[in-house]
A = this chain, B = another copy of it.
Amino acid sequence: MDVNVKDPLYTLRHSTAHLMAQAIGELFPGVKYAIGPPIEDGFYYDFEFAAPLREEDLPRIEEKMHEIALRNLPIQRAVLPREEARAREEARNQPYKVALIDDLPAGEEISFYHQGDWSDLCRGPHVAATGELKHFHLLHIAGAYWRGSEKNKMLTRVYGTAWPTKEELDDYLYRMEEAKKRDHRVLGRELGLFMFSPEVGPGLPLWLPNGATLRETLMEFMKAEQLRRGYQGVVTPNIANAKLYEKSGHLRNYNSKMFPLMHDADENETYVLKPMNCPHHIMIYASELRSYRELPVRLAEFGTVYRYEQSGELTGMLRVRGFTQDDSHLFVTPDQLKAEFKGVVDLMLFTLNRLGLTDYRVRIGVRDPADDKYIGAEENWQAAEEAILAAVQEMGMEYEVSQGDAAFYGPKLDLMVRDALRREWQMGTVQVDYNLPERFELEYVGEDGARHRPIMIHRAPFGSLDRMIGLLVEHYAGAFPFWLAPRQIVIVPIADRHAEYAGVLRDHLRENGFRAEVDGRNEKMGRRIREAEVQKVPVMLICGDRDVEAQTVSVRRRGEGDLGAKTWAEAVLLLQEMARA
């Protein structure tokens, strides 16, 4: 939540909260008022009602709000001495307001805002008159404890949104509606992508067949790109002896996010699920003496890691306890740092572009000098921060610097991606690290024959494969571009006698590298087509008598409808073109 008191939107939304409170006061006499702040995109107000409020009451309240707005009541501030203010709220039977006044530090000015015969204890500021409030909408109600504590009474919180123009309000409501429809948790189940299971545990996704195919497609893309860019694949265990993470510093600095330890009393050894792949990759780097000729060594792994997030904070794929990173660690000489950093950023941008995520900003996380959580030598931090800044400058990129956003072991660059609904997601990340090479005493033999210390770069263009798919589901509302769609082509034989032809066509398409299947169920053709549409399959190929005769197929493309009959060769050319797009 990023609410700025000087922001006119803040004032607008705060005043709309008052407007709602006044309307509710008129409709529900005797209602008790608690607090009503503006929030991102809107506002809420907490009330104690005599009888429970229902969602169905919201339109009536909204109507009353418009009515009061039309009265165009001037909104005026008045200061009262504490005792008088307290007495007024007691007389009105407003115990929450009395409690709020009691909380105010001695000497603080106590102000009320009046509009017509209604007023509220409030610090302000507000708009000049209720007539300025026009473009608002009440959204939903929820329960909320007074002062957020379950020991207190449960109040009723009413949420609303407010905007300066009708266009902005409509756009917001459209995006809200769309976001609901695009909820990756719902679509993920409907499209057979993934599920969660209480028996397995919260935050531990199980990937269903279509989701497994989507993962595979993303991994194939990244593998091919990494091969082209000189990465080498490795595979390491999901666990390690806890001593490894003691040495890396994770057990001390990252402990709260690690799963409980596995201790074997007999062998007196302790194992732990890896929260990160770095120490494993370091073991591989360190397993032989490296020469400067071999550097940069770029080890890449689709590494599944486990982080013990608070169970209350787990939400769909956005925050999980087990996920797969498209992780890589580059071991470079100081001379190579800037070029390799640029190479990594280039791969990240290339990746986002291919995924259709072209709206992003670059944030460089550096130390907060006031915080003492950072480990490693001052000179290394400086060199790393300088290398990152020089790299993005040379690439001509816009960026912002965010103090305190560095990892505890080094500065980083994050890509903040806006999806189709303009919501921002923190995706891929790249970090420079002088610390781990130091802790593990990594070396390479330089051109001078002496031992030198390499620098590490940590990077993950997708970030988390699981989270990236969550984003992509919402970005595309499940209607993935052809190359990504787990189900690319459904072939619909009109009648049983076309099933064999459909099967041969499917095999032909599969041999050409497409994901094709036949829906030969004994259902009406219209129903089969509708089902494939609901499942957002990008291409349907219908075959009937004429197609069998002419060795053609009728192509239906999502969003474009019937493209007519095509020969197999024409269809394959079209599909190849779609796969490149």
Interface residues of A (CB under 8 A from B): 195, 197, 199-201, 204-209, 211-213, 215-216, 227, 232-241, 243-244, 247, 259-264, 267, 269, 271, 273, 279-280, 283-284, 287, 293, 299, 301, 304, 306, 308, 311, 322, 510, 521
Residue of B nearest to A515 (CB): B227
Whether the pair B235, A212 counts as a contact (CB closer than 8 A) is yes
3 closest cross-chain pairs (CB), A and B = A209-B232, A207-B235, A260-B262
Given A236-B206, A260-B263, residue A269 in contact with residue B199 (CB < 8 A) = no
Complex partner residue of A311 from B235, B267, B279, CB under 8 angstroms: B267
Complex partner residue of A197 from B195, B264, B287, B510, CB under 8 angstroms: B287
Whether the pair B199, A264 counts as a contact (CB closer than 8 A) is no
A361 vs chain B, min Cβ distance (A): 32
Whether the pair A240, B200 counts as a contact (CB closer than 8 A) is yes
Complex partner residue of A273 from B211, B216, B239, B244, CB under 8 angstroms: B239
Q: Which of A207, A227, A262, A293 has the most CB of B within 10 A?
A: A262
Residue of B nearest to A267 (CB): B311
Q: Which of A207, A261, A521 has the most CB of B within 10 A?
A: A207
A261 to B521, CA, bound (A): 47
For A206, the chain B residues whose CB sits under 8 A away are 234-237, 280, 283-284, 287
Whether the pair A262, B273 counts as a contact (CB closer than 8 A) is yes
Given A204-B239, A262-B273, residue A247 in contact with residue B215 (CB < 8 A) = no
Residue of B nearest to A269 (CB): B201
Whether the pair A195, B287 counts as a contact (CB closer than 8 A) is yes
Given A197-B287, A262-B261, A262-B273, residue A205 in contact with residue B237 (CB < 8 A) = yes
Whether the pair A280, B237 counts as a contact (CB closer than 8 A) is no
For A283, the chain B residues whose CB sits under 8 A away are 195, 197, 199-200, 206
A211 vs chain B, min Cβ distance (A): 8
Given A195-B284, A199-B243, A322-B239, residue A233 in contact with residue B213 (CB < 8 A) = yes
Complex partner residue of A264 from B195, B232, B308, CB under 8 angstroms: B308
For A267, the chain B residues whose CB sits under 8 A away are 311
Q: List 27 A-B contacts (CB under 8 A).
A: A195-B283, A195-B287, A199-B243, A200-B283, A201-B239, A201-B241, A204-B237, A206-B234, A207-B234, A209-B233, A209-B299, A211-B235, A212-B233, A212-B234, A212-B301, A213-B233, A215-B235, A216-B233, A227-B510, A237-B322, A238-B273, A239-B322, A259-B262, A261-B262, A267-B311, A293-B521, A304-B304
A267 vs chain B, min Cβ distance (A): 6
Residue of B nearest to A273 (CB): B239
For A243, the chain B residues whose CB sits under 8 A away are 199
A467 vs chain B, min Cβ distance (A): 15
Whether the pair A234, B208 counts as a contact (CB closer than 8 A) is yes
For A211, the chain B residues whose CB sits under 8 A away are 235
Q: Which of A205, A216, A235, A287 has the most CB of B within 10 A?
A: A235
For A311, the chain B residues whose CB sits under 8 A away are 267
A199 to B301, CA, bound (A): 19
Further contacts, 7 of them, CB under 8 A, given A205-B237, A208-B284, A304-B304: A199-B247, A200-B283, A206-B235, A211-B235, A237-B322, A239-B322, A262-B262
